[in-house]
Amino acid sequence: MENIQDTLKSERQQAWREELRKSMKAKERTSIDRVKMLEQEPHVRNRNHDEVNLGLSEEMAVKEAQRCLDCVEPTCITGCPVGINIPKFIKRIEQGEFLESAKVLKETNALPAVCGRVCPQEVQCEASCFYVQKLKKDPVAIGYLERFAADYERNSGNISIPEVEEKNGIKVAVIGSGPAGLAVAGDMIKWGYDVTVFEALHEIGGVLKYGIPEFRLPNEIVDVEIENLKQMGVEFRTNFIVGTTASVDELKEEGYEAFFVGSGAGLPKFMNVPGENFRRIFSSNEYLTRVNLMHAADPNYDTPVFSGKNVAVIGGGNTAMDSVRTSKRLGADRSMIIYRRSLEEMPARVEEVKHAQEEEVEFMNLNSPVQYFADENGNVNKVRVQKMKLGEPDSSGRRRPIPVEGSEYEVEVDTVVVAIGVSPNPLIPASMPELDITDWGTIKVDKDSMHSSVEGIFAGGDIVRGGATVILAMGDGRKAARGMHEYLKEKVGKK
Give the three-state DSSP class for 451.
strand
Segment lying near other proteins (by CB under 8 A), choices 84-92, 191-199, 224-232, 460-468: 460-468
Residue closer to other proteins by CB (options 192, 347) is: 347
Segment lying near other proteins (by CB under 8 A), choices 28-36, 186-194, 196-204, 311-319: 311-319
Segment lying near other proteins (by CB under 8 A), choices 34-42, 287-295, 313-321, 357-365: 313-321
Half-sphere exposure of residue 302: CA atoms within 13 angstroms, side-chain side = 0
Pairing of strands 415-418, 281-283: parallel
State yes or no: residue 386 binds other proteins (CB under 8 A). yes
State yes or no: residue 286 binds other proteins (CB under 8 A). no
List of long-range contacts for 349-355, beta carbons under 8 Å, 24+ apart: 349/120, 349/122, 349/318, 349/321, 350/122, 351/122, 352/216, 352/318, 352/321, 352/322, 352/325, 353/321, 355/39, 355/42, 355/52, 355/321, 355/325
Pairing of strands 256-261, 457-459: parallel
Phi, psi angles (nearest 5°) of residue 372? -115, 150
Residue closer to other proteins by CB (options 20, 346) is: 346
- Give the integer Cα–Cα distance in Å for 160 and 193: 20
State yes or no: residue 420 binds other proteins (CB under 8 A). yes
State yes or no: residue 262 binds other proteins (CB under 8 A). no
Cα distance from N-terminal residue to C-terminal residue, the chain: 31
Binding residue (CB under 8 A) for other proteins from 22, 41, 395, 433: 395
Q: Which amino acid is at 2?
A: E
Q: Can you say how many angstroms the Cα of residue 460 is from the centroid of all Cα atoms in its chain?
A: 14
Binding residue (CB under 8 A) for other proteins from 292, 318, 327, 452: 318
State yes or no: residue 350 binds other proteins (CB under 8 A). no
Residue closer to other proteins by CB (options 394, 486) is: 394
State yes or no: residue 120 binds other proteins (CB under 8 A). yes
Compute CA distances 111 → 70, 217, 376, whole Å.
24, 12, 49
State yes or no: residue 370 binds other proteins (CB under 8 A). yes
Residue closer to other proteins by CB (options 318, 327) is: 318
State yes or no: residue 271 binds other proteins (CB under 8 A). yes
Q: Which residues bind other proteins (CB under 8 A)?
A: 120, 123, 265, 269-274, 315-320, 341, 347, 349, 368, 370-371, 386, 394-396, 400, 402-403, 405, 408, 419-423, 445, 447, 464-469, 472
